[in-house]
Amino acid sequence: MSSDVETLLRAPTAYALARKAIAAMELHKVWPTPVNFEIWIHYVGNKDGPLAAEIDQLLGAGEAFTDTVGEQLAAKYLPKAKLNGEILDAGDALAQELDSVSRAIESARETSEAYGQQLATASASLETEDATAIKAMVETLTTATQRVQSENKTLETQLADTTAEVTRLREHLELVRRDAMTDGLTHLANRKAFDEALERACADAEAEGEALTLAVLDIDHFKSFNDTWGHQTGDQVIRYVASVIGRAGRSPRLAARYGGEEFALIFPGEAAETAMAVLEDIREEVSSRVLKRRSTNEDLGAITISSGLAERKAGEAASSLVERADAALYASKRGGRNRTTAAETAAAQAA
């Protein structure tokens, strides 16, 4: 799929293809962000491909093409986005290999040292014997021992150097991985980091029998805000909201940009009541400040957010927890926005 579209983009038909993609995005009210533009270029360039089929199914069901949907499709179908995920997966595998090498090196060093000590002990004990043959064997063994010990010293130096290099590589890999797991706009954890953290948190909660609460948060009327003020100002608002959420999401909690103007907070070991209080503090802080447009100093007005939260049930999978938190968020939206709703409340309202 990608190679055919890449060929079209390097031919005289490229401009017509680009205009066609823009027209399709405008028709379906999709913002022409770089990610969305690349998705829709592939959509109009290969209408028989799996990406086009999934978009057609989504549009046919009347669903909105949100930033979150775009990011998910990019990760699934676009070559660069898929490669980024594959690099991260390869990094995980390499990190495990480096750990294994470090353990093997340390084990070899300890074994070598113990071997030298055993030979030295054997040599000392044999020196007490008077037999000529044994004494000759002792001298031979002593010489061999000294040679092995010398070689061991050289080996230990080499192993120490190798261990230091492995440690340096591991630290560098961790820095690269941290960058790849961080959202560039907000500096919060990105979607991949969130997915992995939630899976771990669910497994830990199940193993330890502890509470776990998930919250999803969304900026109210953000599309209308972007229509009025533009994407750069929209990014300013996203960064501001992210800064408030990030302060509340310090470890062991995790704050993430879930996609577009939507965020998530993981509360390991904390029940819904605690998370509710934190979310209300976030909501009140966000709405209390009147933002100004940086370029013109115009008042942007107050920004509000809606939130939904769900406390994990015993045996519940991460995907189910996300669904219940999302349902609670939509209940907040239906209830008038600028509020926080628990999953139990949302379920009762839907019943």
Of the ranges 37-51, 149-163, 327-341, the best mean pLDDT one: 327-341
Residue written as token pair 């000529």: 132
Write down which residue in 77, 98, 132 finishes a domain. Answer: 77
Give the model's confidence band at 75: pLDDT under 50 very low, under 70 low, under 90 confident, else very high: confident
Cβ pair 94, 116 in contact under 8 A? no
Whether residues 205 and 341 share a domain: the answer is: yes
Whether residues 59 and 150 share a domain: the answer is: no
Of the ranges 63-72, 96-105, 284-293, the best mean pLDDT one: 284-293
Instruction: Kindly tell me if the per-residue pLDDT of 80 is higher than 60.
Output: no
Per the structure, the count of domains in the chain is 3
Cis check for the bond before 252: say yes or no (omega within 30 of 0): yes
Q: What is the CATH number of the domain that holds 242?
A: 3.30.70.270
Q: Which residues pair with 299 in a beta bridge?
A: 292
Looking at the domain assignment, is residue 128 inside a domain?
A: yes
Stretch 138-151: mean pLDDT, rounded?
Answer: 67
Whether residues 255 and 294 share a domain: the answer is: yes
Annotated active-site residue 261? The verdict is yes
Looking at the domain assignment, is residue 186 inside a domain?
A: no
Percent of the chain with pLDDT over 90: 37
How high is the pLDDT of residue 289? 87
Of 33-47, 212-226, 241-255, the one with minimum mean pLDDT is 33-47
- What is the spatial distance between Cα 156 and Cα 109, in angstroms, rounded to a whole number? 6
The pTM is what? 0.60
Looking at the domain assignment, is residue 234 inside a domain?
A: yes
Whether residues 302 and 206 share a domain: the answer is: yes
Write down which residue in 118, 152, 180 finishes a domain. Answer: 180
Stretch 111-117: mean pLDDT, rounded?
Answer: 59
How high is the pLDDT of residue 1? 42
Q: What is the largest CA-CA distance in the chain?
A: 102
How high does pLDDT run on average in the chain?
82
- Write out the two tokens for 175: 């820095």
- What is the spatial distance between Cα 36 and Cα 25, in angstroms, rounded to a whole number? 8
Mind listing the pLDDT tens digit for each residue in 161-215? 766 766 776 676 677 777 778 888 899 999 989 999 999 999 999 999 999 999 9
Looking at the domain assignment, is residue 233 inside a domain?
A: yes
Q: Which listed residue (63, 106, 196, 261) is catalytic?
A: 261
Whether residues 204 and 341 share a domain: the answer is: yes
Range of the domain at 203: 191-350
Of the ranges 2-16, 74-88, 270-284, the best mean pLDDT one: 270-284
Whether residues 167 and 213 share a domain: the answer is: no
Looking at the domain assignment, is residue 310 inside a domain?
A: yes
Whether residues 199 and 322 share a domain: the answer is: yes
Instruction: Kindly tell me if the per-residue pLDDT of 329 is higher than 50.
Output: yes
Whether residues 208 and 65 share a domain: the answer is: no
Give the model's confidence band at 83: pLDDT under 50 very low, under 70 low, under 90 confident, else very high: very low
Looking at the domain assignment, is residue 146 inside a domain?
A: yes
Whether residues 86 and 48 share a domain: the answer is: no
Whether residues 339 and 198 share a domain: the answer is: yes
Stretch 89-98: mean pLDDT, rounded?
Answer: 59
Looking at the domain assignment, is residue 121 inside a domain?
A: yes
Torsional sign, CA 51, 54, 60, 66: negative
Pairing of strands 340-342, 305-311: parallel
Whether residues 40 and 100 share a domain: the answer is: no
- Write out the two tokens for 320: 């189910």
Write down which residue in 131, 155, 180 finishes a domain. Answer: 180
Whether residues 123 and 249 share a domain: the answer is: no
Mind listing the pLDDT tens digit for each residue in 122-134? 555 555 555 565 6
Looking at the domain assignment, is residue 185 inside a domain?
A: no
How high is the pLDDT of residue 277? 97
How high is the pLDDT of residue 292? 83
Mind listing the pLDDT tens digit for each residue in 225-244? 888 888 888 888 999 999 99
